[in-house]
Amino acid sequence: MCTCLVAHAEGMTFTALAEACGLTDGNLNRHLHALAEMKIVRLSRLRGFGRPTTVVRITKPGRARFLEYIDELEAVIRAVHASEEGPKTAQHLSRLAAQA
């Protein structure tokens, strides 16, 4: 959800976000209310002709938290890749020794 909202700074309708995330309305509603309580997203009801539309936007603090989270994930991925280079070589040598 946050990835979609960061990519759409103007916000997304509830329906578009549900489709993009592949969630049911009930699941999305539950997640959004939890994120809204944490001030990560803001929900707005737009009234016009026809049914009201809910628009979801990520807040500035929410965007900052999400980008910090992405930075942490990238650091973990870099560490995993770096650590795999050493163990892969050791595992490969162990397999070669076992085959000999």
Per-residue pLDDT of the chain (100 residues; tens, 9 = 90+): 999 999 998 999 999 999 999 999 999 999 999 999 999 999 999 987 888 999 999 999 999 999 999 999 999 888 888 877 655 555 655 655 665 4
CA distance 81 to 65: 24
- Around Cβ 54, how many Cβ atoms within 10 Å? 18
pLDDT of residue 78: 87
Task: Tell me the domains of the chain and their CATH numbers.
Answer: 2-99 (1.10.10.10)
Residue 10's pLDDT is 94
Torsion of CA 76, 78, 81, 83, to 10 degrees: -70
Give the integer Cα–Cα distance in Å for 6 and 1.
9
- The alpha-helical segments, DSSP class H, found in the chain are 2-7, 14-21, 25-37, 60-99
What six digits make up the tokens of 33? 């209310």
What's the pLDDT score for residue 48?
79
pLDDT of residue 92: 56
